[in-house]
Amino acid sequence: MIEMASNIGRNDYCWCKSGLKYKQCHAAFDEKIEFYKRNHAEVPSKEMIKTKEQLSGIRASSKINIAVLDYVSEHIVIGMTTEEIDRMVYQKTVELGGIPATLGYEGYPKSVCTSVNDQICHGIPSEQVVLKDGDIVNVDASTFYQGYYSDSSRMFCLGNVSEDNRRLVRVAKECVALGLEQVKPWSFLGDMSQAIQDHARQNGYSVVREIGGHGIGIEFHEDPWVSYVIGKGTGVLLAPGMVFTVEPMINKGNDKIRMDRKNGWTFYTADGECSAQWEVTIAVTEEGYEILTY
């Protein structure tokens, strides 16, 4: 947790290395953190608060990630294998100066995740998986660029997708938008989570409990872990400078999941119903939030 920088004088340089005096920079911030901490709130660690320089680096990485997904959007077609999507992502990321962050991460073998229909997340691209008319597909790309990470995913509806599945994809996107409306400095992570789960459930869907979002920037996965099933007023306090992903996984059926034991990565819905997910990365600002990737 952030503690008051009692060893820093108000006229000393700030702990965030901004070059400003502490009183002009994070003094008021630290006082707010202390207030919430005294009132038993879960407050962010200093490591969760990104400096202006770090935010600039994350934005640069994010530009590549957005461009990669734009490229996928322009080229994804029925009849393509998910392995072809992987090659597209690798080639475009490298062309733009980045490195696919998933490639080799904890043993993950590919440059992107491609999750089709009842795959919730971490679908591994393969020559054997051919995109068919009526499929819904999540393409989840992540980029490492000049020391900084970015991450986002989009859904694609291929051809004659059923109205039920189109509605699932649409509601999943609405969940993200409604969650973002609740992201404000000095609010709580649970405020966002409540809005997401309420909208999903009102539409007859469920929210995956075991898998959530994460902090990102200096490392691929950082604190906080982001749950979408906690309640309003709970979870970590949202403070300016925090960067994390918003990526609720919305199931058409129940929230039960199962892992592919053969590959150790891919999660499926337990009931075989479809799942949809959109992912953005955001920074909490003094006014609200900034979308870094989409």
pLDDT in tens, 165-198: 999 999 999 999 999 999 999 999 999 999 999 9
pLDDT in tens, 116-147: 999 999 999 999 999 999 999 999 999 999 99
**Percentage with pLDDT > 90 across the chain:** 87
Average pLDDT, the chain: 95
Listed range (24-28, 128-132, 142-146, 212-216) with the worst mean pLDDT? 24-28
**Percentage with pLDDT > 70 across the chain:** 98
pLDDT in tens, 47-86: 999 999 999 999 999 999 999 999 999 999 999 999 999 9
**DSSP H helix total and E strand total for the chain:** 5, 15
| Residue-level pLDDT at 6 | 53
pLDDT at 18 over 90: no
Contact 144, 61 (CB under 8 A): yes
Beta strand 136-145 pairing with 113-116 = antiparallel
Q: Could you give the domains of the chain?
A: 1-40 (no CATH), 41-293 (3.90.230.10)
pLDDT at 8 over 50: yes
| Residue-level pLDDT at 9 | 83
The Cα–Cα gap between 223 and 42 comes to 12
Confidence bin at 2 (pLDDT 50/70/90): very low
Listed range (14-18, 98-102, 169-173) with the worst mean pLDDT? 14-18
pLDDT at 5 over 70: no
pLDDT in tens, 223-263: 999 999 999 999 999 999 999 999 999 999 999 999 999 99
Q: Per residue in 150-170, is it b (16+ CB within 10 Å) or e — as a string?
A: bbbbbbbbbeebeeebebbbe
